[in-house]
């Protein structure tokens, strides 16, 4: 299918347009009845000026300011980092001034999921080995390696055994914000609806003690497992120092898995309403078309899920920065809007103490793909949240209990961000990419959506859907419906490309915010 247009002007008052394909010098494009001759090549996803932009004037995309001209920009010129700067500007938050009405109820849809005792529903059925500290990471991986394919074949309803290991758990202040955040994250995975059974593996002397984790997060005993806990009513714990080293830890861990496998296998998929789905959204390896194709496609899917009674989570607070005023208008109450602004202000403080700037994001790869400033990236990123009301703002890895569209405060770094979102309860995820990402995030399946056809065809083995067809004239709503249908299939057990590759264990990276002591 051929592109219908060489470039797209997203809003009538924008003074830039986005190239739908590589454009050559002297190509002629037309905007609002005016022909513009390109003075230089414009790569796919990059911006071209549709009119003269004087020095200091705002550069507008999505109908919003994405930066300011650092010199006079002529019509037909390439607009990018060489002539567009990200200066501070005031934003009117207008809390709750434009709250969308509740969407009309959607037609009933179901998926086949694993119903847990607490009523939550999983889309996968894993056993997790949760390492409390980096010092027990190797032992946790060794336990998982001892679980053979022949053993798993006896338990067809179990998706696998995953070691959740990380690089922290000690060297932090006891009961600090960092300690509490790690505990929330580990507990979020332990209690996740996609986890059918788990046990903890610790060293014994770490700051992140298993006993503290169990008591602070109210983790409860798992029936039918005899592996001892460090608390009378807690889940099974294997402590390296107590059992006598790595070899004995591996043996004890394997015994725990052999007890967990039959009870986890007893849970079978049943037909349930899609209101039980919680969609985690992420964009990574973004390009100039992320906010034009794939992210709006996810927004359509998000809206359909919310209309069906489900939940959609938008993260990456540094990639909301500069666009937060759009979300505060959609906040159901001024308090919800203020909660988002509070997180934005925290990020300004947090980056400042390290001598960093939030505009250091976009990355070099993002910029090569056409993204110039954080404001531009953020305006495209928030499209994943669709158009419904913002109902709540959560801290990193907090349990998400609100239905509808919500925000979770996470970094922009993809694996850290989605680790928090999955800990919050997301049982299915979607990841948009323009440059190409090979991300996965066990235990939650992650669909990857390409922003352009060129990359999709180059990396088809890793992409689950091509949103690049939007540049070729296919309506965003149509591709969004395709993603919605795919999400239901994946939730029912269809494997994503990342699952077929076995990707998703190394991407478990809890966010460490404090000093290493």
Mark whether 356 and 403 lie in a shared domain. Answer: yes
**222 has a pLDDT exceeding 90:** no
Query: Which of these three, 265, 282, 308, is where a domain ends?
Result: 265
Q: List Cα–Cα distances, 113 to 116, 267, 444, 447, 499, in angstroms.
A: 9, 10, 12, 17, 17
pLDDT at 384: 98
Query: Does residue 270 fall inside a structural domain?
Result: no
pLDDT tens by residue, 420-455: 999 999 999 999 999 999 999 999 999 999 999 999
Looking at the structure, tell me whether residues 242 and 137 fall in a common domain.
yes
Say how far apart CA 137 and CA 508 lie, in whole Å: 12
**pTM given for the model:** 0.95
The answer as to whether 76 is a domain residue is yes
Residue 399 lies inside a defined structural domain of this protein: yes
DSSP 201-270: EE-SSSSS-HHHHHHHHT--PPTT--S--SSTTS--EEEHHHHTSHHHHHHHHHHHHHHHHHHHHT---E
In-domain check, residue 258: yes
Q: CA nearest 121: which of 315, 221, 267?
A: 267
Residue 2 covered by a domain:
no
pLDDT tier, 228 (very low <50, low <70, confident <90, very high otherwise): confident
Assign 359 a pLDDT band (cuts: 50, 70, 90): confident
Angle between helices 177-190 and 210-217 (to 10 degrees): 80
What the block records as the tokens of 425 is 């309860």
The verdict on 298 and 255 lying in the same domain is no
Same domain as 383, residue 483: yes
Buried residues in 495-505 as b, exposed as e (16+ CB within 10 A): ebbbbeeebbb
3-state class (DSSP) for residue 172: coil
Q: Residue 275 falls within a domain, yes or no?
A: no
What is the average per-residue pLDDT within 464-471? 97
Band of residue 190 on the pLDDT scale cut at 50, 70, 90: very high
DSSP label of 51: S
Tens digit of pLDDT for each residue in 475-513? Answer: 999 999 999 999 999 999 999 999 999 999 999 999 999
pLDDT of residue 4: 65
Assigned token pair, 135: 């010092």
Q: How many CB atoms lie within 10 A of CB 270?
A: 12
Alpha helices (H) along 39-176: 137-145, 149-153
What's the whole-number average pLDDT of the chain? 95
Structural domain range at position 408: 291-500
Residues 69 and 139 in one domain: no
Average pLDDT over residues 46-68: 96
Residue range 300-309: mean pLDDT, rounded: 98
Cis peptide before 443 (omega within 30 of 0): yes
| Assigned domain for 192 exists | yes
Condensed to tens digits (0 to 9), the pLDDT of residues 138-162 reads: 999 999 999 999 999 999 999 999 9
Same domain? For 297 and 259 the reply is: no
pLDDT at res. 1: 42
Mean pLDDT of 321-334: 97
Residue 101 covered by a domain: no
CATH of the domain at 76: 2.30.130.110
The count of structural domains within the chain is 3
């Amino acid at each position: 299918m051929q592109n219908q247009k060489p470039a797209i002007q997203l809003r009538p008052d924008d003074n830039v347009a986005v190239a739908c394909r590589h454009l050559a010098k002297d190509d002629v494009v037309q905007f609002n009845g005016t022909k513009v001759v390109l003075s230089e090549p414009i790569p796919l996803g990059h911006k071209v000026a549709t009119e003269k932009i004087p020095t200091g004037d705002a550069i507008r995309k999505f109908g919003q300011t994405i930066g300011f001209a650092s010199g006079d920009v002529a019509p037909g010129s390439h607009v990018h980092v060489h002539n567009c700067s990200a200066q501070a500007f005031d934003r009117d938050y207008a809390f709750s001034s434009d709250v969308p009405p509740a969407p009309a109820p959607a037609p009933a849809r179901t998926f086949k999921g694993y119903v847990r005792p607490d009523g939550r529903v999983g889309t996968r059925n894993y056993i997790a080995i949760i390492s409390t500290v980096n010092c027990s990471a190797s032992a946790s991986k060794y336990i998982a390696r001892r679980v053979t394919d022949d053993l798993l074949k006896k338990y067809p309803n179990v998706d696998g055994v995953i070691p959740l290991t990380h690089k922290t758990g000690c060297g932090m202040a006891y009961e600090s914000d960092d300690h509490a955040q790690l505990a929330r994250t580990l507990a979020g995975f332990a209690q996740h609806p996609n986890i059918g059974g788990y046990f903890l593996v610790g060293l014994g002397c770490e700051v992140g003690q298993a006993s503290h984790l169990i008591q602070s997060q109210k983790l409860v005993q798992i029936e039918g497992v005899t592996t001892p806990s460090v608390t009378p009513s807690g889940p099974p714990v294997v402590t390296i120092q107590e059992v006598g080293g790595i070899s004995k830890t591996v043996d004890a861990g394997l015994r725990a898995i052999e007890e967990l496998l039959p009870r986890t296998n007893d849970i079978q998929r049943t037909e349930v309403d899609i209101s039980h789905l919680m969609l985690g959204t992420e964009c990574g390896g973004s390009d100039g078309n992320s906010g034009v194709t794939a992210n709006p496609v996810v927004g359509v899917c998000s809206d359909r899920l919310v209309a069906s009674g489900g939940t959609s989570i938008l993260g990456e607070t540094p990639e909301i920065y500069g666009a937060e005023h759009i979300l505060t208008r959609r906040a159901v109450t001024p308090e919800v809007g203020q909660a988002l602004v509070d997180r934005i202000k925290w990020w300004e403080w947090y980056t400042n103490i390290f001598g960093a700037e939030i505009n250091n994001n976009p990355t070099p790869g993002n910029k090569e793909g056409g993204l110039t400033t954080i404001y531009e990236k953020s305006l495209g990123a928030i499209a994943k949240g669709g158009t419904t009301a913002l109902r709540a703002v959560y801290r990193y890895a907090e349990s998400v209990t609100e239905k509808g569209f919500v925000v979770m405060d996470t970094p922009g770094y993809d694996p850290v961000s989605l680790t928090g979102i999955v800990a919050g309860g997301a049982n299915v995820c979607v990841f948009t990419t323009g440059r190409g990402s090979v991300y996965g995030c066990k235990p939650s399946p992650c669909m990857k959506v390409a922003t352009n056809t060129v990359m999709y065809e180059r990396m088809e083995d890793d992409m689950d859907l091509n949103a690049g067809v939007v540049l070729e004239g296919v309506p965003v709503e149509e591709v969004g419906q395709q993603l919605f249908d795919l999400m239901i299939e994946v939730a029912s057990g269809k494997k994503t490309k990342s699952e077929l590759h076995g990707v998703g264990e190394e991407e478990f990276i809890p966010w460490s915010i404090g000093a290493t002591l």
